[in-house]
Structure formats: C-alpha cells, structure tokens
Amino acid sequence: MGIEIFAGGDVDAIEKGASGLPARRIVFSDGQELRGDVVMPFYGLAPNVDFMSGSGVDMERGILVDGRLKSSIDGIWAAGDVCQIWSSALNGYRFYYGYRNVRRMGEIAARNMTGETVDFEEQGDESLQIDDDGLLHSPLWEHD
C-alpha cells in the first residue's frame, strides 16, 4: 500500500473511477488528473473564527464552549470544527473531528438552543483503521 500526498491545486471534480482502475479519479482545474483508492482532502485544521473578533466570546484557536456547546455569552452556541469543547477528563478544551462528532454537535447545539439540557459525548475513535479486508476507514468520511 502506497500513499501519495498531493499538495496544492484546485479540484474541479472527484469522480468514481472506471472499471479496472482505482476507485476515484480527481480532476484539477488545470486539467491534471490523479487516480487513487482513497481521497482525503485536508484544508488545514485551523478554524476560521475571525468573524467572531470583537464579539466578546471567549476564544483560543476556536470558540470555547462547555459540554453543552454553549459559549461564554448567553444565546451563542458553537458546533463543528470552529469550537473547542471543555473536557473535564483532560481539564482543558479540545477539538473533536470526524463527521460523526460534527453531525452530533449540530444536533446537541440545536437541542440545547431550544431548551433541552444535553451534553456532547465523543462519537467514536478519531483514528484511521484498516479492517480485515485491507479497507481503510476514517472518521473523516462516511463509511457505514
């Protein structure tokens, strides 16, 4: 199993590969193409929270929220990759990644905004896994 990292370029399309070829075909705006079994796009892990400057909301690298995803200001919640959630186990704030976590954060924030009291709980392992068939699974994409 080889891994190729391609940094840079504007992606026009990620398509299903043709029969007998790798599972994905990536087409760039300059016409260049790559083929691979797995495509893992990364655009950086620094959330863009500049829009919150001057709001008074507590921030570090992201918006600081409690376990219910509420910020330091009443009426403001945050979910997804822009928030750092308080972890009493770590005695600090941390980011949670992966579609399951982000999807759950949206649900939890919405429920708490409407008056419920629900704490966020991590939705599984955040590491890459290779199953018995040699297939790669990641919390960064849906594979259920």
Decide if 93 is inside a domain.
Answer: yes
Q: Please give the residue that has the higher pLDDT: either 2 or 82.
A: 82
Q: What is the CATH number of the domain that holds 90?
A: 3.50.50.60
Total domains in the chain come to 2
- Tell me what the mean pLDDT of segment 117-132 comes to: 78
- Please give the single-letter amino acid code of residue 84: Q
Decide if 88 is inside a domain.
Answer: yes
Decide if 91 is inside a domain.
Answer: yes
Place 144 in a pLDDT band, splitting at 50, 70 and 90. Answer: very low
pLDDT of residue 127: 67
Q: 129-130 and 136-137: which strand pairing?
A: antiparallel
Query: What is the C-alpha to C-alpha distance for residues 110 and 62, in angstroms, rounded to an integer?
Result: 19
Place 110 in a pLDDT band, splitting at 50, 70 and 90. Answer: very high
Sign of CA dihedral 110, 118, 95, 61: positive
| pLDDT tens digit sequence for 49-100 | 999 989 999 999 999 999 999 999 999 999 998 999 999 988 999 998 777 8
Q: Could you tell me if 27 and 73 lie in one domain?
A: no
Q: Could you tell me if 60 and 108 lie in one domain?
A: yes
Decide if 12 is inside a domain.
Answer: yes
Q: Could you tell me if 24 and 64 lie in one domain?
A: no
Q: Could you tell me if 107 and 63 lie in one domain?
A: yes
Decide if 46 is inside a domain.
Answer: no
Q: Could you tell me if 33 and 64 lie in one domain?
A: no
Q: Could you tell me if 67 and 109 lie in one domain?
A: yes
Query: What is the C-alpha to C-alpha distance for residues 7 and 1, in angstroms, rounded to an integer?
Result: 20
| pLDDT tens digit sequence for 26-50 | 899 999 888 888 777 766 667 889 9
Decide if 20 is inside a domain.
Answer: yes
- Tell me what the mean pLDDT of segment 109-123 comes to: 94
Decide if 31 is inside a domain.
Answer: yes
pLDDT of residue 4: 75
Determine the structural domain holding residue 5 and report its residue range. 1-38
Decide if 59 is inside a domain.
Answer: yes
Q: Could you tell me if 31 and 66 lie in one domain?
A: no
pLDDT of residue 43: 62
- pTM of the entire structure? 0.63
Place 126 in a pLDDT band, splitting at 50, 70 and 90. Answer: low
